[in-house]
């Protein structure tokens, strides 16, 4: 991060919360004023463009994980640069938005879910800051991958808005970018997974390594492979995403003042 950007980001006082947007969420609030802070990190020649959104619910940092034009596939995202940049900007709490497929019965399309566990099936991604001889704390605790206090705020906000929010689920993170086979989903079911997505890891673990409090808010946009009728339709996924994104925005804006 350049000194100027660092100074400016640091002076964005009070903005201690960040949202990492997934598919369909490229801005927190459509008409919010946005300031951009280019943050250089050791993980990319290009700076991460951190957006500071002045929303109706207060200020929050925002990163669209797939890029503003959705150009990055899950395995192409520079998770380390994103998390590092947020840490540099003084962020303490992160809400990650992820779209997922539903594996277990209750996880119907349209369901909003607050997972409390995850299993990582990804491979070949840069998944740690703790490599090399400089590493100090290689074995961070990850018993509970998601922050319960942020989850509680999201639950209260959902209650206030009368929005159903399913609490407690196991998130399977697969490599993608293709969707899974029906047999792969049956294996995930046997492993105890409830929902499946491609972007939850290594993000959650990198946040933990940096000491950031991190919660995931997931939206089910399709029955996972073999769990619905026929094949997975991109159009159906788009429709559920479109229908659910308003609820996600409302929930985030209701929760922000309690997390700032």
Write out the residues near ligand HPA by the rule CB under 6 A: 99-101, 174, 179-180, 196-198, 221-222, 224
Q: How far apart (Å, rounded) are the C-alpha atoms in residues 177 and 162?
A: 34
Q: Tell me how far apart the 2 most distant CA atoms of the chain are, in Å.
A: 55
- In whole angstroms, how close is the CB of 227 to ligand HPA at the nearest point? 9
Nearer to ligand HPA among residue 27 and residue 238 (C-beta): 238
CA atoms within 13 A on the CB side of 12: 28
Q: How far apart (Å, rounded) are the C-alpha atoms in residues 77 and 54?
A: 25
- In whole angstroms, how close is the CB of 1 to ligand HPA at the nearest point? 32
Question: By the 8 A CB rule, do 41 and 80 touch?
Answer: yes
Q: What is the DSSP string of 29-62?
A: STT-EEEEEEEEETTEEEEEEEEEEEETTEEEEE
Nearer to ligand HPA among residue 2 and residue 233 (C-beta): 233
Nearer to ligand HPA among residue 61 and residue 121 (C-beta): 121
The residues, any chain, with a CB within 8 Å of residue 8's CB and separated by 6 or more, are 37
Nearer to ligand HPA among residue 160 and residue 182 (C-beta): 182
- In whole angstroms, how close is the CB of 172 to ligand HPA at the nearest point? 8
- In whole angstroms, how close is the CB of 240 to ligand HPA at the nearest point? 9
- In whole angstroms, how close is the CB of 169 to ligand HPA at the nearest point? 14
Nearer to ligand HPA among residue 40 and residue 224 (C-beta): 224
Q: How far apart (Å, rounded) are the C-alpha atoms in residues 62 and 71?
A: 17
Residue closest to ligand HPA (Cβ): 101
């Amino acid at each position: 991060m350049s000194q100027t950007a660092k100074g400016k980001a640091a002076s964005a006082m009070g903005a201690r919360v960040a949202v990492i947007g997934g598919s369909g969420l490229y801005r927190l609030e459509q008409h919010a004023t946005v300031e951009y802070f280019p943050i250089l990190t050791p993980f990319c020649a290009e700076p991460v463009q951190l957006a500071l959104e002045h929303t109706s619910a207060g200020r929050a940092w925002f990163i669209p994980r797939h890029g503003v034009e959705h150009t990055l596939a899950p395995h192409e995202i520079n998770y380390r640069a994103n998390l590092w940049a947020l840490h540099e900007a003084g962020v303490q709490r992160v809400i990650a938005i992820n779209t997922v497929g539903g594996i277990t019965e209750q996880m119907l399309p349209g369901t909003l879910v607050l997972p409390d566990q995850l299993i990582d099936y990804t491979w070949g991604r840069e998944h740690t800051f703790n490599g090399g001889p400089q590493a100090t704390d290689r074995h961070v605790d990850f018993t509970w991958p998601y922050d319960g206090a942020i989850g509680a705020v999201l639950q209260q906000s959902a209650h206030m808005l009368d929005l159903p929010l399913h609490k407690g689920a196991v998130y399977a993170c697969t490599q993608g970018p293709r969707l899974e086979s029906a047999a792969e989903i049956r294996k995930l079911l046997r492993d105890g997974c409830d929902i499946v997505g491609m972007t939850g890891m290594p993000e959650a673990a990198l946040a933990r390594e940096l000491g950031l409090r991190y919660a995931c808010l997931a939206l089910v946009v399709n029955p996972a492979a073999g769990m619905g009728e026929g094949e997975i339709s991109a159009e159906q996924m788009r429709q559920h995403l479109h229908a659910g994104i308003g609820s996600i925005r409302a929930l985030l804006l209701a929760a922000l003042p309690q997390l700032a």
